[in-house]
Structure 1
């Protein structure tokens, strides 16, 4: 089989594209029907499967911890004498920007202030206890659990691709269990589900990112914050990320991700020292202690005797959303992790981003809470109507607020580009039989698919409904990832026995 044949799209590409086109048309022409159907599905999922999501995400973290100390911990993702292609700093920048960048900027201030006025069960709104709980739950939602999902998928993909020389497809992470069926109909179904979840998830986030950039420009420069502005932003960002995408991972995505982590670090340090520094440091120590001390109750608590709506709207929503993104982030992390040991991979992918997320929320969310509670700035009131404004309202109220807001717009724009860039690449890999260098026209097809989907949904009002579809798609994929753990351990055991 020659190179051209390997990169030619097949059943996975055309089937996934067709299903996404149907969903987009549904959202464009019948937005209310799609919204009603998907919301009903989400209600059913929250009622009957909340326990499943809570248990599964905890198992993912525990599985990562086991692998980091297991007899396989020094096994490399590749030949035993292979070396990592990226420096540790570049590697962290790539995985951090790809995995959580847009979400951290979007929710970094909005989530803590919203949870302060709409706290978890057992807390009274707008109290000291509610403020501490708001920051603790925000860190919980963005620390170990999400990265446990990404780490399991990424580690499985990297092991079977670089160590066992299997194609870089989700289906081949199950080779020890299903054998050559990974190349057959069962494997194609797994890859189609992965592709759809990725494409829909990224497209909806693309639309949300356009809304946040538009909101930031409106706050800083007074430009209109409407659909026309958002479509212009989508068009500009599409041109930028397509240029980056065609230049490849080694150039475009790597340079953008390195720039991202630098801009994020500079902005975070500036907020730390321009804001209530001592208060923020106290908040970080407090939330870290609370998170560690309450980790098990947080991870396994539901409301079987009360109203579970809050956890459905927040915790279960985040877990399902993260799992829907799992194929994309995991596949991309695998792509950049050749040559790392399993221990190094788990420590880097699980703990470093989790700690950085805790620092980010302590500084950004802590400053937002300080402004809300002590500074008299009603961020929560405005965030209840437009969550995307919370980040810029907080920055604008600090010294040099204009400069900080411009940095904030730059940061979300670069995160915007890198997420769409790397997602288009991953979609191209999955739909091109797992080759690491897919054809350019496939990359372009997925890039424009993401942009057009986001634009159509913004115009039709179906963006929230399609996001719900992505969350529902996470339900079967959660079971797939649980089975993936079994397959990975079986593969590691067999590899150690033959090594």
Structure 2
């Protein structure tokens, strides 16, 4: 087939598949009943007996982390390695949506990716986590805490939690499967589509498919309400410390209303307007803060710390990524590696939907390298600027956050580091604003993604987007009213939701490369025998 014929063929998109059984314009009833039912059940049981809910979740959290932690780690590691392997093959030149014209400019596309995937949590932990690993040596290393030798391992451990593995599970192999299924086969952008190659379309379009979608929605609701709630407590604490504003539930509620208004409005206007605008604003603000820290902060220290920390990350990559509870304390694995990895797994399917939706016109190689390599490197730089500065001030005795971090008070750590940075109060306000917008970008993108799942197509009704955004803010408000402990309980519940979601992601380890091969063949980049196209029929080059 000639190159011209290929382009003629590929511009015709498969017509969208009909909506699953029983689904109407307001969404799949199974998804709506199960996901909303979970929210009502969790809040209702918490009102009835907070201690019972917290104890039950804590027990399940501990068991899951100890029993399935190694499985979660292996899933992330294999996802990253296989995704990188795909980029080294001719099939990686296939284009998402079989079009050479991306819907978004490169800057807008990268901005949305950076501000959506690990944004809220990354900013929340960027200051405190490196300092914590500096004062409490991670189990993968034997350096003495709070010494010069402990700096590189502290940053390396943070890079492990928020680096290549975390990003890869959110938008590499799964995004390939969904992009091929949606753009080439006309199948819906829903988590159930990831299992079409395993169970077939007939089974997945029924009730079982609705259950799969609902489990993924529940995982994302649990994973998003937590950061929303924690943001309210963090900003409230910051305003109290900086301006004496009462650190009360009323203040937190006002913050939640303001945050909800921002991301609900953004979600309702869609990717082309609100989500894109908010992401670009956040990138510019982050770049401005980063420039101030780098130019006027401990510049030499930060450069050396990043170089040594990233080198340690690469050299100890497999040691850290395969560390299990057999060689590390149970509590450490539960609250660090396993918790983070389970959190990312829970986000996996809906983030993959979002990445597939915004990556039309990009090649598979561009998508994987941006999500699984370039974005993690940017994250490590951000962690070095905030967390590395914190390590510098901790090491030189400017402040001592050991007690606060041992009590997992990361809001205290973030504000303390921010106030110590060049600019003092102004920098603290800027970082609080940045954190707020980052959480808002997570809220708007997840409101949009949940609505896509419920509706079964990528242009859900704005009112449905608003409903999910308001629901998450309302849930955070109710849980905060009952006490910050319930937000913690919901965060622990994330690890439990990762069990079924991980099984939904698991097939992508082999269906991802298969989908890439199918896309490459359809676009004339590979023959039926999976060999590169002949020189007479060269594949189109990336631009």
TM-score grouping bracket, smaller chain normalisation: over 0.9
Residue of structure 2 equivalent to 1:315 = 337
Stretches of structure 1 that go unaligned for 5 or more consecutive residues are none
Q: Does 1:144 align with 2:153?
A: no
- Look up the match of 2:531: none
Q: 1:292 is matched with which residue?
A: 314
2:118 maps to 1:100: yes
Q: Distance in 1 between matches of 2:246 and 2:213?
A: 41
**1:338-360 deviations in whole A, cap 9, x for unaligned?**
11110111111111111101111
- Residue 448 of structure 2 is aligned to residue 430 of structure 1: no
CA distance in 2, matches of 1:97, 1:210: 19
Distance 1:494 1:101, change over 3 A: closer
CA distance in 1, matches of 2:47, 2:109: 39
Q: Mind listing any 5+ residue stretches in structure 2 that lack a counterpart?
A: 1-17, 524-543
Partner of 1:29: 48
Residue number in structure 2 paired with 1:169: 190
Structure-2 change in CA distance of 1:21 and 1:128 (3 Å): same
User: Could you tell which deviates more after superposition, 223-232 or 139-148?
Assistant: 223-232
1:471 aligned onto 2:491? no
Q: Which moved more, 1:345-354 or 1:14-23?
A: 14-23
CA contact (8 A) 1:27 1:465 kept: no
| Structure 2: distance between partners of 1:496 and 1:355 | 28
- Provide the residue aligned with 1:397 in structure 2: 420
Q: Check whether the contact 1:272–1:363 (CA below 8 A) recurs between aligned residues.
A: yes
CA distance in 1, matches of 2:419, 2:47: 36
Cα RMSD between the aligned structures? Answer: 1.9
Offset from partner CA, 1:35-78 (integer Å, 9 cap, x none)? 10011011111221121112111011012111211231111111
> Structure 1 stretch 157-166 or stretch 134-143: which is displaced more?
157-166
Structure 1 SS opposite 2:96? coil
Instruction: Using structure 2 for the length normalisation, give the TM-score.
Output: 0.87
Q: Which residue of 1 aligns with 2:148?
A: 128
Which stretch of the first structure deviates more once superposed, 114-123 or 184-193? Answer: 114-123
Q: Give the SS at the match of 2:187.
A: coil
Q: TM-score, normalised by structure 1?
A: 0.95
CA gap of 1:216–1:383, structure 2 versus 1, over 3 A, is: farther
Residue range with higher mean Cα deviation, 464-473 or 259-268: 464-473
Tell me, in whole angstroms, the C-alpha distance in 2 between the residues paired with 1:369 and 1:400.
18
Aligned position for 2:6: none
Match of 1:417 among 422, 425, 440: 440
How far the C-alpha of 1:400 sits from its partner, in A, is 1.7
C-alpha displacement of 1:130: 2.9
Greater helix share, 1 or 2? 1
Q: Does 1:112 align with 2:134?
A: no
Task: Give the Cα–Cα distance (whole angstroms) in 2 for the partners of residues 476 and 407 of structure 1.
Answer: 39
Q: Give the one of 301, 307, 316 matched to 2:323.
A: 301
- Tell me: CA distance 1:259–1:498, structure 2 relative to 1, closer, same or farther (3 Å): closer
**Which of 209, 217, 225 is residue 231 of structure 2 equivalent to?**
209
Question: How far 1:389 moved relative to its partner?
Answer: 2.2
Larger radius of gyration: 2
